[in-house]
Structure 1
Amino acid sequence: MRSYEISKGDIYATVEEGKVLKMTGTGIFVFADLHQGEYRARANVGRPLGMRLSSDGTTLLVIHSSLGLFSISLLDGSVSRLLPVDENIQPTFFDDFDVLANGTVILSEVSTKHTIKQLIHEILEGRPNGRLISVNPVSGGWHTMLDGLDLPNGVQLHSDNQSVLVAETRKMRILRVSLNSGNVSVFADGLPGQPDNIRPSPRGGYWVPVSLLRDTLTSKLLIWLGTWPRLRGALMKIIQSIPIHIDLDTNSAMLLRLNDEGQIIEVWKDPKGLVRNVAEVCEHGDNLYTSSFYLPFIGKLSMTKE
């Protein structure tokens, strides 16, 4: 489960098989399936990732890495595609998004070269192939706000409503981009691990999960490989010629709450690795709910229990 939203006590989550699940007090149900009908042909190269609840609370918005942006009615589960509206913008590896008050969608594309199924290729290539895109879903007009990003991931409108935050995962930092001038500044740098989705906290600030912590063997290996481009190239050729499955699942997880200036003000750790590789954090009441790129469940952490 990668991303989720809570509405009227029910939890909605995106899963790898292309479905959106609905979890209620009576069970778990398939609420919508994005890999049906006309979209089935490209379904095998992607999956649904980021999810948002519309401002009026009647619709789920879901980004699919290779198909674009969808809306799902909470009334009947009906699905409609919002992006792309034409052939001028075609997803390669869309990841996360946020929606401005005027309806503009700001979304991250991890790579314009590799799909999500080729994530290890993107990592080994070590080049900044990502970008941040602004799209008008009504007219179809779009432009690249920022390119040359290194594995851009989570996207979140800043509380000032004048800038947007984007996680640059490989560089273990979060950038802040002005919506008016396009100026870019570093919001949070030197994070203890690789950041994923960014979501607001009702107490102020933003929740950012980080995985592949700097002190883990996997993280150290990736940093070391970054200094050997020829070795990375050789590994890519091996992976391309031999069907090897490689994932970056580690037992490291840390949940950070940052303030509006990007300073860390709260930290939760999971030394036992029960909710490893957390992709998103949602604060609801006295609990933190976590999703993972690898784990088939949503974690629940009470902030009031020792």
Structure 2
Amino acid sequence: MEVKRRKGKGEWEASSHRKEEQRKSKSISLGRPRCKLCLLVTLVSVLLSLVLIAILPTPIDPVIIDLGGIKSKSFGGNAYLREAIRLFDGEIKGPEGFAIDGDGNMYTGLHDGRIVLFNDTHMTTVMRMGPPPYDNCGKLTSESHCGRVLGLEISQSDPYLLYICDCYHGIQTLHLKTGHREVLVNTTATYPGVPPIKFSNDMVVLKNGSVFFTDSSYKFARNELLMEMYEGRPNGKLLHYNPTDGTVSVAIGELHFANGVCASKDESFLIISETSRSRILKYHLKGPKTGQTEIFMNELPGVPDNISPSSKPGGGFWIGFALLRNEALEVLGHFPAIRNVFVKLRLTRLIAESLPRNGLIMECDESGTVIRELYDMGGVKIPSVSEVLDLNGVLYLGSYDGTYIGKLDFSNK
């Protein structure tokens, strides 16, 4: 009869050590192929993603956007815009374009296609740009139906004739006394020698009834605005409407997101915002340079939007800035391929919403010399400005996405 000998302490430890080594060896031998498989799956996934990104269609053909340096009198050096008050806060959205009729009534356009009359306490709807139904008005997807007013101006010959620039419905007039409405420029019409008008943005009406208006892009409508900004090509133009014969012609072609437009006090020249180049151009209407274009201001601290007259006796302009320049935008501008990927992956709106909001308006004289810059760094009160209405130093501030009208009394400063 065999007697089993009990293992001593040393033998137990040696046996346990051997079993542990065998377990580790088995684990390692099983783990290596798994790690290799994981790596292979990862590499294949990355390659497939790159292939998919490469073959996905894209509506843009982006180019390098180089804005140069920043010229500023006092970049972010004050907080004057924080002194503004908000009118109708949370009750409206997107007040853009201002006009004043012969009775001193103020008008603006809203994101849902309405034109409203307002004062500091009350607001009344005057008209809607699009036909009924109005249930979905105010949504980006319904803008082409409901309309989106971006520019308003009163005729210099009739203080109750309101000119309207709608980015989908073109240039129209509304007589505020009779209610008569007339289409001057139809965006669906074809005009000889004029590329398609897809994004009529702002206008100026001269004493003789001529209308100069910007078309931001022949390629993208306003509801595709980010596509235009990401592409960065000169798809815009300045157009001229002749009231005598109703013709439309190109005054300046190949503009980079043509936006705000305003005339000098004597109507000898116009200035035009090139939003995606952070600069403003000058277009001569009179004198030896008639029809010529030159740079009026460049390397601005933000992306300029609408331009409006200053109330100063010698003339001048107010420039609203939708956004201040920042490092992320500067870097993105130099990498068209990355912008293309963002468009393909539908990340453009997410990126736009993540950008810092800082308010800025700038006043300059008719030579382009900056008089003052008013900021709200951090966007505490006024995070963005599309247009300024200057009533003897009392400034009304509109914004393409603001939920209020800003009011800033700067008459004593």
Same fold (TM over 0.5): yes
Deviation at 1:233, TM superposition (A): 1.5
Mapped contact 1:156–1:198 kept (Cα < 8 A): yes
| Equivalent residue in structure 2 for 1:212, among 308, 313, 323 | 323
Aligned CA distance change for structure 1 residues 232 and 33 (closer, same or farther; 3 Å): same
Aligned CA distance change for structure 1 residues 244 and 256 (closer, same or farther; 3 Å): closer
**C-alpha deviations, 1:36-55, integer Å up to 9, x for none?**
269x9983385111111111
Aligned CA distance change for structure 1 residues 201 and 304 (closer, same or farther; 3 Å): closer
Greater Cα shift, 246-255 or 281-290: 246-255
Matching of residue 31 in structure 1 with residue 153 in structure 2: no
Mapped to 1, the partners of 2:350 and 2:183 lie a distance apart of 31
Pick 1 or 2: higher relative contact order, CA cutoff 8 A, min separation 6: 2
SS at structure 2 position matched to 1:3: strand
Deviation at 1:147, TM superposition (A): 1.3
Greater fraction helix: 2
TM-score of the two chains, using structure 2 as the length reference: 0.67
Query: Which position in structure 2 is the counterpart of 1:221?
Result: 328
Query: Which position in structure 2 is the counterpart of 1:199?
Result: 308
Aligned CA distance change for structure 1 residues 5 and 247 (closer, same or farther; 3 Å): farther
TM-score of the two chains, using structure 1 as the length reference: 0.89
Matching of residue 18 in structure 1 with residue 128 in structure 2: no
> Percent of aligned positions with the same letter in both sequences?
29
SS at structure 2 position matched to 1:295: coil
| Equivalent residue in structure 2 for 1:80, among 182, 186, 192 | 182
What pairs with 1:72-111 in structure 2 (closer than 5 Å)? 72-84=174-186, 87-89=189-191, 91-111=197-217
SS at structure 2 position matched to 1:131: strand
Mapped to 2, the partners of 1:42 and 1:290 lie a distance apart of 23
Deviation at 1:296, TM superposition (A): 2.2
Query: Which position in structure 1 is the counterpart of 2:298?
Result: 189
| Aligned-partner residue type, residue 4 of structure 1 | F
Aligned CA distance change for structure 1 residues 78 and 220 (closer, same or farther; 3 Å): farther
Greater fraction strand: 1
Aligned residue pairs, count: 300
Mapped to 2, the partners of 1:58 and 1:134 lie a distance apart of 22
SS at structure 2 position matched to 1:139: coil
Deviation at 1:138, TM superposition (A): 4.3
Q: Which runs of 5+ in 1 are unaligned?
A: none
Deviation at 1:137, TM superposition (A): 3.7
| Equivalent residue in structure 2 for 1:61, among 146, 163, 171 | 163
Mapped to 2, the partners of 1:77 and 1:282 lie a distance apart of 24
Mapped to 2, the partners of 1:18 and 1:200 lie a distance apart of 25
Mapped to 2, the partners of 1:114 and 1:85 lie a distance apart of 13
**C-alpha deviations, 1:256-296, integer Å up to 9, x for none?**
11111001012222235212220000111341110001112
Pairwise CA RMSD: 2.6
Query: Which position in structure 2 is the counterpart of 1:49?
Result: 150
| Aligned-partner residue type, residue 166 of structure 1 | I
| Aligned-partner residue type, residue 219 of structure 2 | K
Q: Which runs of 5+ in 2 are unaligned?
A: 1-94
Mapped contact 1:46–1:117 kept (Cα < 8 A): no
Structure number with larger C-alpha Rg: 2
| Equivalent residue in structure 2 for 1:258, among 361, 364, 374 | 364
Mapped contact 2:214–2:260 kept (Cα < 8 A): yes
**C-alpha deviations, 1:90-140, integer Å up to 9, x for none?**
530000011122221111111110000001111111211111111114422
Query: Which position in structure 1 is the counterpart of 2:283?
Result: 177
Mapped contact 1:120–1:246 kept (Cα < 8 A): no
Mapped contact 1:125–1:236 kept (Cα < 8 A): no
Aligned CA distance change for structure 1 residues 9 and 161 (closer, same or farther; 3 Å): closer
Mapped to 1, the partners of 2:412 and 2:366 lie a distance apart of 27
Mapped to 1, the partners of 2:202 and 2:144 lie a distance apart of 18
